Structure 1
Amino acid sequence: MPHRPAQRIGPFALTRTLAWLRLCAIAGQSVAVLVCAWWMQLDIPLLPLLLGIGLLAVFSVFAAWRLRLPWPMSEWETIGHIAADTLVLGYLLYFTGGASNPFITLLLVPIALSAAALSVRAILAVAALAGVAYLILLAWHVPLPMPMHGEDGAHGGFSLHVVGMGVNFVISALLLGFFINRLAHALRVQQLEVQRVRERALRDEGILAIATQAAGAAHELNTPLSTMRTLLPELRREHAGDVTLAEDLALLEGQVDRCRTILREMVAFGKAQLSQEPERLSVDQFIHGCLERFQLLRPEAELGLELDQPTALTVLRTPPGLRHALLNLLNNAADASASCDSNAVMLQVTREAGWLQLCVSDRGPGFDDAADAALLGYSQKQTGLGLGLALAEATAERLNGELTAGNTDQGAKVCLRLPLAVIAEP
């Protein structure tokens, strides 16, 4: 995805708009021809006109089929669709008065739509196509028979032309207003998507920089940890008589082993990320594995779990980052509860409408307001790195999911929602 803002909507959006416009044209042209031939009793070549409308209907079916194909739509292919529409419109106008037909201004509609979606070169090509069609119809056409009114029929012909101009104005206004509004809406949506992708790319670059620093730190920490792991047992043996010091040294030895375990897990997690091979686990196995890891990190936490049997049996293709995202949410919840002298953390796992939902609740102060709840990358904690929610949100977006946050009666609640179509076994 390019990082510069898009300047054009694109050929595909225009071609799709032309497909809908073509259906309106087929209906309007059919009604106009039948009204002129049967109600107004004009002597127009009915069979050639219906043949032209039929050809446009056949091309409309082809265009709809083409839009369903996965191939990218080029500008010149879109110009080809516009050329087909212009050719059929020119064919119909040839048998109905040519340039004197008030509906000749419909040749401007493709130019207006192209100006909102294509490059300058393509717009010039469409304008040249419409100009050539107009010049040909100015020189060669079948005169439109006018109804007789009065002695020479001139007044009747002028009245019919004025009525046609009025109908043409209404049609042009409706078409241009409706379809250009659709193209403008598509442009706004595209600009918002580009902005969101740019923001996510900037955030991911920051996370990648931190991850690079963490990898270097993990590599450098391995040597001093190994040294401490070697010296601590010797110190314990030398000071075996000092019970208090021996207990402190035993605690330090346990913390060193814990640091080494964390570093090994970081290396294993990095290898898993590079291989992109997901683990195949049931929801029950995945959740209990995360909770065991969390209890080792936070033994003081009072963790509650709500997991129904059908959800527990769902088999997941667990991506490497999902476990760490859940652990980050649990750690944040434990910190929030601890700030209010509580150790309670609740995890609710549910499955609904094709989504797996992991909701973590705490007994903390909650978010200050709805704006803070929406800023998931922002941390209110005074300690820590402030990356837990940002990493969890990045994992959710990578898996086409979402991370939502809000307040409850007892604290805060953060939910990680993931589509089962992405993370579950078929």
Structure 2
Amino acid sequence: MWKKLAIIVMIIIFIDPIYTVGKTVVQQVKTWVNNDDIETMLVSTKDKIIDVTAKLSDKASIETATPIEDVHQAEVAPTAPPIQKPETKLVVTDAKEMADAMYAYYSSFSPKFEIQYKGSTQRIEQIVEEAYNNAIKRDDYVYGHISKHTIRFEYGRNKATIFGEQSYLMTPEQASYVEMNAQEVIAKITDNSMTDVEKVRAVNDYIVANTVYTEHTNSSPHSAYTVLAERGGVCQGYALLAHTMLQKLGIETKYIVGYVGQEGHAWNLVKLDGEWYHLDTTWNDPVPDRKGAIRYQYFLVDDRTMAQDHTWIAEDYPRATSTLYSYYHDIDFPAQVGNQLFFSHIADDNKLYVLDMTTGETKRVTNSRAQYIVYSDGWLYFSNYSRGAYLTKIRPDGSDEQLLNREDTKDLFVQDGYLYFTTDEPKKMAL
């Protein structure tokens, strides 16, 4: 006679936290998993503008610009063929084979599975639990996209049937879209000459520059698909997209679920030259969104620095103790010119600095407070917050600084031979 026994996977997941972090945290994590509700606290920057009268350069020719379509505007992206699913029923004989079968279903984003087990069932509950734990820990990216899942099984003396039902934050077609398009993005933003640090920065910069933090999306804002295709989402989507892009670059990474205050939050750990570092692309993205603004306060951060405003179950993740890249954390509005990175120095009143990325050395370019920094044809352009946020240009060596208008200017970017910016309306200037 067959016996029936049901295991709810949620119980399996949270056995360990019950003993390590206490009942309150476990209840919070359970609520997050059941409700698919990760939120984040974000940093909002308030800049002080000093309004002074300044002499204008008579060389500037400025005209009203036709607004360019916002790259962050959400849209429904085309889907791709679904990931190949395994056979309808798989037959296994031990926990390892069962884990392989479970992972095949999870990684293809299949909503249901049925696995046939042949062998002694005296330890069937332990075998199923072992298989599940093995399968779910193989890939943070897949696990991070599972919103709900249960496992039950029926068994006799020498055989059992394991049933799984699960739902995901994206469809199989959307998962295929990420698989194909993330690889295309990587090919555009990286090359074989780059170091791993440069590749991590390229991933961070791409996600930050092309994503608006928002819950108002067509698909789940928690998925990598939505961040990549709709260019909007929340921390879980940011972290999962970063995870798969870094994996494709051959950089070891982990997906972290933790807290900021009482709110659930997600970010990444990355491994470089044997050391682990925190990477929070969500918190590197200013809110409200600022066109072209990329921050590095949460780029390659150690545990001690991260713990100032983030919490996580430390024993569940590798330790991050290195501060090798701490010089990045004062960088705002970066503009790269070869091996030099020009930026607004947060710790020095947002004055314009340059970082030599070969040596890690920094020096001040000018005493002017610079925001929205861009480079074109031998000139740096920026919003000069020491001069009423007026549009200014300067040579990279700090010479020939000139004011180009007498209006509060922001959102600078260069495209097709023009410098675009916003005053009381969108404008452009031929370069």
Higher fraction of strand = 2
Normalised-by-shorter TM-score class: under 0.3
TM-score normalized by the length of structure 1: 0.22
**Bigger-Rg structure (1/2):** 1
TM-score normalized by the length of structure 2: 0.21
Identify which of structures 1 and 2 has the higher relative contact order when contacts are C-alpha pairs closer than 8 Å and 6+ apart: 2
